[in-house]
Amino acid sequence: MSTSEVNLCRLIYFSSASPELTDNDVDAILEEAIAGNELRGITGLLAYDDFHFMQVLEGNEDAVNNLYFRIAQDPRHYDVKLVHYQKVQEHHFQEWSMALARLPEVPGRYIDNLYGGFEPQLFTADDALKYFDMLRHYLQQAA
């Protein structure tokens, strides 16, 4: 097993979208993430609903930590909060260097039943993981 496989982690955060954020900005975020994450061996999924972001990142601990610190400084969002951080044995979102789930285009009955909608500030770490699993399954089926 290589060093990068030994030092894998999973990080989940949520944030509030800047009021000035446009659809073109979100597209640019996705393009930047895909290109940068491919170079760094990071995988993940970004959920966005016009008001909030929630993202899961997986990869080498140093790469993920450095990326998270850069993300936290990005002016396209604010109030960045860490929801979950865990060392893992393998990538769970290996299909994508980054995928985007635009909400409410993606059905979210699991979260609707818990919170009445996409309210990432209310999520527990377990809820966030379950939600990303649901999104992952939906995106795989839609592909």
pLDDT digits (tens, 9 = 90+) for 34-50: 999 999 999 999 999 99
Predicted local confidence at residue 83, as pLDDT: 95
Stronger pLDDT, 135 or 66, i.e. the higher one? 66
Q: Which domain holds residue 50?
A: 3-142
CATH of residue 95's domain is: 3.30.70.100
Predicted local confidence at residue 141, as pLDDT: 83
In SS3 terms, the chain reads as: CCHHHHCEEEEEEEEEECCCCCHHHHHHHHHHHHHHHHHHCCEEEEEECCCEEEEEEEEEHHHHHHHHHHHHCCCCEEEEEEEEEEECCCCCCCCCCCEEEECCCCCCHHHHHHHCCCCHHHCCHHHHHHHHHHHHHHHHHHC
Predicted local confidence at residue 62, as pLDDT: 97
Mean pLDDT of 101-128: 76
Q: What is the DSSP letter of 27?
A: H
Predicted local confidence at residue 110, as pLDDT: 57
Predicted local confidence at residue 27, as pLDDT: 96
Average pLDDT score, the chain: 89
Predicted local confidence at residue 102, as pLDDT: 87
Q: Per the structure, how many domains does the chain have?
A: 1
Predicted local confidence at residue 3, as pLDDT: 43
In the chain, % of residues over pLDDT 70: 87
**Claim: this prediction has a pTM higher than 0.85:** yes
